[in-house]
Amino acid sequence: MHKKRTPKDVLELSAREGIQLVDCKFIDWPGQWQHITFPLHEFNEATFEDGLGFDGSSIRGWQAIHTSDMLIVPDPSTAFVDPFCAHPTLSIICDIVDPVTREPYSRDPRYISKKANSYLRLTGIADTAYFGPEAEFFILDDVRFETNEQSGYYFLDSAEGRWNSGRDERPNLGYKPRYKEGYFPVPPTDSLQDLRSEMVLQLERLGVQIECQHHEVATAGQAEIDMRYSPLVDMADYLMLYKYVVKNIARRAGKTVTFMPKPLFNDNGSGMHTHQSLWKDGKPLFAGKEYAGVSQTCLYYIGGLLKHATALAAFTNPTTNSYKRLVPGFEAPVNLAYSSRNRSAALRIPMYSPSPKAKRVEVRFPDPSCNPYLAFAAMLMAGLDGIENKIDPGEPLDKDIYSLSPDELANVPVMPASLEEALNCLEENHEFLLKGDVFTEDALQTWLSYKRESECQQVAARPHPHEFELYFDI
């Protein structure tokens, strides 16, 4: 993916690979890939400019039924031979265009991320924003859930789950990671080494450069595969491909994957620490002689992220479940401070390498339930606002934040405690996102109303299973 290809190149690739079908993938508003498949004979070079029609009224957060006609326009640089289709299929990521105006659709998340890139160049501050997300996920063996008028439950299971240490497995061979002790054990405790390696090798075959893979902290198959940093839009594309590959390889092995931030009670949730840096003319801008070897530009960028973090949460932590993870004690930072090395800070400056090219900011509060196009664009806009307005991030906090006294914590701001609170913060503070028409008022209001009506209100209206533990005998 992301090779410099022309439409002619894509058609020649299709001929060489014996492609019969073309699967057009695009991102919906909440952040999931959707797709529509065409026989190859429906594609020619003009298709990459004219697009193909589809009904946008059934896509979450998009058009009303009376204005439902939309166009998908394939991006030739994203074409790849799909490894999960029974028939030879070329997958390609598409942009969304209004068929009447021929303008990019303002609620297409990929278009919003492209506008953020354009705004970056317009400022003259930098020409490239690199992003490197560390998306964590659980590999499970069984999942069941249901809610209706008179019941509601979920059930997860994993052969690795510590709760199965006493199960009669005929034989039970033990080696199940303890709660919060799943970080880096070798096999047989890590039973998923080969499956993660298969995911890595498939991603690399599709052009995604991988840095490492490992078991994560939680029991029950928590995993992480790290991609090499890439420019903003490319990385958002890669993250969607990453999810697609990981889920399908797991399914092929009779397992399932979830990127839900907090599927397990009382063990670590899945985060997506996101590394960021700005470059101009091939040179890194975040290295310097200030704190931890960063530049003043980097400190201002940090200042912008800290100032706008509570509003950013509406995009970086966009589910009600996100705030089950954002609680103290599970490596998810709720206190808004920055530091070098200190992993209890919301923003960290990694110190692995002295190279100026390695200087970056790691934002630790996002999680992998986010729409990456929107989350990356929003974080970039917050950082740029910090640079443009020279926002001082204050003093770093190099202590273990979780060990601070209440008096010491009193002046440290915190992340929102719920999605509803994050949405309120976004509603009150979003001017920085409107610069350069990157996010429009329509896009933001659509996000707010969709999240409130389709998620917050739906969850709040239903009894929770634990409420029966607390209140049934009242």
Q: pLDDT tens digits, residue range 128-159?
A: 999 999 999 999 999 999 999 999 999 999 99
Q: pLDDT tens digits, residue range 406-465?
A: 777 778 889 999 999 999 999 999 999 999 999 999 999 999 999 999 999 999 999 999
DSSP notation for 315-357: HHS-STTHHHHSSTTSS---B--EEES-TTSSEEE--S---GG
- Find out whether 118 and 436 touch, Cβ atoms under 8 Å: yes
pLDDT for the residue numbered 368: 98
Q: pLDDT tens digits, residue range 403-422?
A: 777 777 778 889 999 999 99
Mean pLDDT for 168-190 is 94
Residue 187 in this model has a pLDDT that exceeds 70 = yes
Mean pLDDT for 322-350 is 85
Residue 317 in this model has a pLDDT that exceeds 60 = yes
Mean pLDDT for 176-188 is 94
Confidence bin at 60 (pLDDT 50/70/90) = confident
Q: pLDDT tens digits, residue range 259-312?
A: 999 999 999 999 999 999 999 999 999 999 999 999 999 999 999 999 999 999
Distance CA 23, CA 72 (A): 11
Q: pLDDT tens digits, residue range 71-122?
A: 999 999 999 999 999 999 999 999 999 888 999 999 999 999 999 999 999 9
| Known catalytic membership, residue 216 | yes
Catalytic residue among 95, 226, 362, 455: 362
**DSSP SS3 for 473:** coil
Q: Which helix (H) or strand (E) holds 21?
A: strand 21-27
Provide the β-strand partners of residue 70.
54
Catalytic residue among 107, 110, 196, 273: 273
| Known catalytic membership, residue 198 | no
pLDDT for the residue numbered 135: 98
Confidence bin at 354 (pLDDT 50/70/90) = confident
The DSSP secondary-structure symbol of 455 reads: I
Residue 42 in this model has a pLDDT that exceeds 80 = yes
Confidence bin at 63 (pLDDT 50/70/90) = low
**DSSP SS3 for 92:** strand
Compute the mean pLDDT over every residue in the chain, rounded to the nearest whole number: 94
The DSSP secondary-structure symbol of 312 reads: H
| Known catalytic membership, residue 442 | no
Catalytic residue among 35, 214, 343, 452: 343
| Known catalytic membership, residue 134 | yes
| Known catalytic membership, residue 149 | no
pLDDT for the residue numbered 206: 96
| Known catalytic membership, residue 102 | no
Confidence bin at 331 (pLDDT 50/70/90) = low
| Known catalytic membership, residue 343 | yes
| Known catalytic membership, residue 110 | no
Confidence bin at 330 (pLDDT 50/70/90) = low
| Known catalytic membership, residue 55 | yes
Q: Which helix (H) or strand (E) holds 54?
A: strand 52-55
Residue 382 in this model has a pLDDT that exceeds 90 = yes
Considering Cα of 257, then 260, then 266, then 272, what sign does the dihedral take?
positive
Pairwise pLDDT comparison (453 vs 331), residue with the higher score: 453
Catalytic residue among 28, 108, 134, 234: 134
- In the block, tokens 């326009």 appear at 73
Catalytic residue among 110, 215, 364, 430: 364
